[in-house]
């Protein structure tokens, strides 16, 4: 089992997947990590849609990115914020719902990494046509789509990152 730091180091935006279906049980394990994610006022402002096989999967490939051809999909929609969350958002002039969905997506991706799966968070997709194809109400907002599958490459390419000293300020 990977430690959290190992999972963080191993996780990357996978854009090449093997032609192998992801077991529904593994996807449910990843969604369990979403369920356990923290959120402002415990609002849990997300809902997960899973598309793992069939013609809808092909439709999602055409409405997202071509590299998702052999992937499964988890779509995170934004749920209506709780009354408490709305008050906090307004009072702090901050939309914590978006932060919460980002945290939930990260939980999903790290859990998937631990299970030997690759993921890519996709922000460029045809929201209206996806909602239509999946019969998701027009009133919902799709905030993030995660492609998930077995990576074709064992090792990610080098990911340039800023040195710690450039992005850290210690105030004493």
The domains of the chain, with CATH numbers, are 4-167 (3.40.109.10)
DSSP 34-72: HHT---GGG---EEEEEE-SSHHHHHHHHHS-GGGTT-E
155 pLDDT above the threshold of 80? no
What does the pLDDT read at residue 154?
67
Entry pTM = 0.91
pLDDT band at 89 (very low <50, low <70, confident <90, very high): low
Q: Worst-scoring range by mean pLDDT, 17-26, 41-50, 114-123, 156-165?
A: 156-165
In this prediction, residues 62-88 reach a mean pLDDT of: 86
């Amino acid at each position: 089992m990977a430690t959290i730091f190992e999972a963080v180091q191993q996780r990357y935006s996978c854009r090449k997947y093997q032609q192998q279906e992801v077991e529904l049980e593994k996807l449910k394990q990843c969604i369990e990590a979403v369920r356990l994610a923290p959120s402002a006022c415990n609002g849990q402002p997300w809902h997960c849609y899973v598309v793992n096989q069939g013609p809808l999967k092909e439709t999602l490939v055409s409405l997202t990115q071509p590299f998702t051809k052999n992937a499964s999909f988890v779509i995170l929609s934004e749920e209506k914020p709780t009354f408490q969350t709305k008050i906090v958002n307004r009072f702090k002039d901050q939309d914590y719902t978006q932060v919460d969905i980002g945290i939930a997506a990260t939980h999903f991706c790290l859990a998937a990494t631990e299970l030997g799966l690759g993921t890519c968070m996709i922000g460029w997709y045809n929201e209206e046509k996806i909602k239509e194809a999946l019969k998701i109400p027009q009133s919902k907002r799709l905030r993030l789509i995660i492609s998930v599958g077995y990576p074709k490459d064992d090792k990610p390419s080098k990911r340039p990152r800023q040195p710690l000293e450039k992005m850290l300020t210690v105030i004493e």
